[in-house]
Every structure is written in structure tokens, then in C-alpha cells.
Amino acid sequence: MEFKTVARLSSLLSKSFAEDFMRLMVTYKDISASEAASRLNLHIKTAQDFLDELSQLGIAGKKEVYERKRPYYRYNLIQPRLNIDVDFTALYNPDNESTLLAQKIREQKNTGVLFATSDSHSFISAITIFTGEGRRRKERKINLTTSQGKFLYHLPFPNAAFETIRGIIKKAGIDKAYTSEIVDIVHVLQSHNVIEVAR
């Protein structure tokens, strides 16, 4: 099951009335939003949204019926049991790493970013990024892993020559097992214009 689907399902089932609602779905052969709302003492829009989400997730069936020429929907439970199997490794695509590691980068000029060095001064322990102006200025501090700190310690200065990410990793003596977290912090810093990529 995809992570986004699990997230939607978790959000739906975490609602205070979800257990009672699902008990209702098991008990009744089919039910309308107005019937469910009155039975559970909910607003009809709340019941309708819950049922529609169940339908979109493939847990409930949705059938249009007519009463006095007015159409409405009835819902029935079609998935009485769910087995959730989530592959978290699917959230990261290692195939892009080779191309990214060949990128040449260096620190961007005049970013105003603060680099905090460790007590031993052998790596960066945290970076503080500032966004906005005046009273709307916001501060974001990012604590770094040791490998990320070593990488940024060896990041070329704004006036230095560009170096590949792979080359910086090698210069910093970082084990290849930590490549993915290096790529992650580079993405973050690129999005905040802290790192410049050679064109």
C-alpha cells in the first residue's frame, strides 16, 4: 500500500467517531449519509465526507438510488478486513543518486546563513537559515548528522571552485552508506538557495 493511501486511511480512522461509524458499516447492509448522521448524531456533511472517503479508498461501495425522483447515494462495506503493508524504502529513489553525485556545487554568496561548528571544529553541527524581511523574518535551525556536518565543513566557499558532491564526500572521508542523507541535506539547502549548483 502506498504511503499516501496509508496516510489518508490513518487520518480517516483517527477521527473520534470512526470506530462507531465503522461498526455501523458492518451492522447495516447499506446506509445513506443522512441515516448515518442521524444514527451517530453527526452533521450530515461530516457523515457524507467520511463515506465518500471510504468509497475513494475502495473500502465502501457507492450506489446511486432514487426516492421520489430525487437521487442520493447508499454505501456498503466491501472491504471488511484490511491488511496494511507499507514499504517505507519506496519513499526514496536511489536511482537518482548517480546523477546527483556528479553535480558540482559550492556555497552560495551572501545567504546570511549561520554555520555552527562542533567543539572539535572538525564538522558543522547545525545551520541556521533566515527567511523573510523585518518583523516577518523567520529563523530555521537544522541540526545535522555527523556525516552531513563533515560534508558541509568541506563544502567549497562562495569564491572557491565548484566541486562534485561525490568529490566532497570523498574529501570528507564519509562512508558511502551515508550518501542518501548527504543528498537529502543538499536538496534542502538548494531549496533555500544556500548551495549553488554549477550551470
3-class DSSP state of 47: helix
Residue 13 has pLDDT above 90, yes or no: yes
pLDDT, position 93: 75
pLDDT, position 97: 80
Closest CA to 115 of 177, 173, 158: 158
Could you read off the pLDDT of 100-139 as tens digits, one per residue?
Answer: 899 999 999 988 899 898 777 788 999 999 888 888 888 8
Q: CA 80, CA 27: separation in Å to the nearest integer?
A: 11
Domains of the chain as residue ranges with CATH: 3-77 (1.10.10.10), 94-197 (no CATH)
193, 186 Cβ separation under 8 angstroms: no
pLDDT, position 153: 94
pLDDT, position 135: 82
Q: Which residue has the higher pLDDT, 91 or 16?
A: 16
60, 75 Cβ separation under 8 angstroms: yes
pLDDT, position 125: 92
Could you read off the pLDDT of 150-195 as tens digits, one per residue?
Answer: 999 999 999 999 999 999 999 999 999 999 999 999 999 999 999 9
Q: CA 2, CA 107: separation in Å to the nearest integer?
A: 36
The amino acid at 199:
R
pLDDT, position 127: 93
Could you read off the pLDDT of 22-77 as tens digits, one per residue?
Answer: 999 999 999 999 999 999 999 999 999 999 999 999 999 999 998 777 888 999 99
Q: In the chain, what is the greatest distance between 2 CA atoms, to the nearest angstrom?
A: 80
pLDDT, position 119: 76
